[in-house]
Amino acid sequence: MPEQLVFAMEVILNGLMAGVLYALVALGFVLIYKASGIFNYAQGVMALFAAMTLVGIMNGQVPFAHLINATFGTHIHYFGWNVPALFAIILTMGVMVLLAWCVQRFVMRHLVGQEPIILFMATIGLAYFLEGVADLMWGSEIKKLDVGLPQGINLWLDETTFNIFDYGFFIDNLDIVATIIAALLVAALVAFSQYTKQGRAMRAVADDHQAALSVGISLNFIWVMVWSVAGFVALVAGIMWGTKSGVQFSLSLIALKALPVLMLGGFTSIPGAIVGGLIIGVGEKLFEFAIGPLVGGATENWFAYVLALIFLVFRPQGLFGEKIIERV
């Protein structure tokens, strides 16, 4: 087998894994968009916020320590205990539910019936707000997140591929775990929306707000629930990305990477988010591998957007999006 082809296969595998992580963020967008028609720009910052809160709780950091110290001249930083990972994750989930409630109570409830663009701007404002709060609460330095997920090269895959191709593939264990978790998460979400009462109510709200109201579904409750679920997805994404590259500001930028994924897959489709994520993941890695060296590298910064842009010109509603019917 020619060497280039083997390299390309490794690149494709890595791309698939990266794509799963993009899809994970994109899922959060789709959930909120389907249920409330809000395009939640803050999803990426929610992932950052969740990851920072998780690290903070695990290390027993005092929230707002810097602010308190600066105001009162004290020197407190840590409570002096460490919280086990699983318990910390549950606590963080509690924080995310609280956040969902606050967002619904103080922001979205007042904006019902506004134009979509106004709602979108509000979520950008929310993103700024959350980012500032997260930095104030836990400090803005890069943190290490370790909840006990396996990391490093997968030796079994390395050996197997070496025996076949004479070249060992480098696949991170974490990426494999992320893929499995993402698959489980999607299965759980689908099961939740298909087979539970709340899930059905959620789909009813997504279908038609007024009809859902008229059969007695509480919009407030559904929206808090949807934002909580999105918070949960953000937490999972935050754990994965945080373990992979440290908890830092750039984490919130993966939200931007999720946008072309959404555009490819269509804003309203969960399978679309996954397929879109995989296409973008593989596409940008392959492009960087094949064309990148010719044009100076770092094409990953823009390839996804340009791909989505070209794609949209031919199919404006994305791969799996609902057909846009326009009337006067």
Partner 1 sequence: MFYREAGDFKTSYTADSQTFPIKFDRYRYYVVLAVAFGIIPFIINDYWANALLLPFLIYAIAAIGLNILVGYCGQVSLGTGGFMAVGAYACYKLMTAFPDVSMFIHVLLAGGITAIVGVLFGLPSLRIKGFYLAVATLAAQFFLVWLFNRVPWFYNYSASGQINAPERDVFGIIITGPNAPAWATYLFCLIFLSFCAIIARNLTRGTTGRTWMAIRDMDIAAEIIGVNPLKAKLTAFAVSSFFVGIAGALFFAVYLGAVEVGEVFGIQKSFLVLFMVIIGGLGSIFGSFAGAAFLVLLPVVLKVVGVDVLGWPTDIVAHLQLVIVGALIITFLILEPHGLAQLWRVAKEKLRLWPFPH
Among 7, 101, 167, 305, binds partner 1 (CB under 8 A): 305
Query: What residues contact 232, with CB distance under 8 A and at least 6 apart?
Result: 93, 96
Query: For partner 1, which stretch binds (CB under 8 A), given 166-174, 176-184, 186-194, 290-298?
Result: 290-298
Question: What is the longest distance spanned by two Cα atoms in the chain?
Answer: 68
Find the binder of partner 1 among 20, 30, 31, 39 (CB under 8 A): 39
Q: Give Rg (Cα) of the chain.
A: 21
313 forms part of the interface with partner 1 (CB under 8 A):
yes
5 vs 313, which CB is nearer to partner 1? 313
Q: Does 294 bind partner 1 (CB under 8 A)?
A: no
Among 35, 36, 131, 145, binds partner 1 (CB under 8 A): 131
DSSP per residue, 46-86: HHHHHHHHHHHHHHTBPTTHHHHHHHH-----B-S----HH
Which residue do the tokens 């044009």 mark? 295
Q: How far is the CB of 214 from partner 1 (least distance, A)?
A: 27
Contact 267, 206 (CB under 8 A): no
Residue 126 or residue 201: which is nearer to partner 1 going by CB? 126
Residues 140-199 that bind partner 1 (CB under 8 A): 140
Under 8 Å between Cβ of 106 and 130: no
Q: Six-digit token pair at 116?
A: 């979509």
What residues does 78 pair with on adjacent strands?
61
Q: Which distant-in-sequence residues (6+ apart) come within 8 Å of 239 by Cβ?
A: 50, 51, 54, 89, 145, 147, 149
In the complex, minimum distance from the CB of residue 286 to partner 1, in angstroms, rounded to a whole number: 18
Q: Taking the complex as a whole, how short is the minimal distance between the CB of residue 231 and partner 1, in angstroms? A: 17
101 binds partner 1 (CB under 8 A): no
How wide is the angle at C-alpha 236 spanned by C-alphas 220 and 200, nearest 5°? 35
Under the criterion CB under 8 A, does residue 289 sit at the interface with partner 1?
Answer: no
Tokens of 209: 């707000």
Q: Is 42 helix (H, G, I), strand (E, B) or coil?
A: coil
Q: Stretches 54-62, 164-172, 233-241, 297-305: which one binds partner 1 (CB under 8 A)? A: 297-305
Is residue 259 involved in binding partner 1 (CB under 8 A)?
yes
Residues of the shown chain interacting with partner 1 in the complex, contacts defined by CB under 8 A: 39, 66-67, 70-71, 107, 110-111, 114, 116-118, 120-122, 124-133, 135-136, 140, 256, 259-260, 262-263, 267, 295-299, 301-302, 305-306, 308-309, 312-313, 316, 318, 324, 326-328
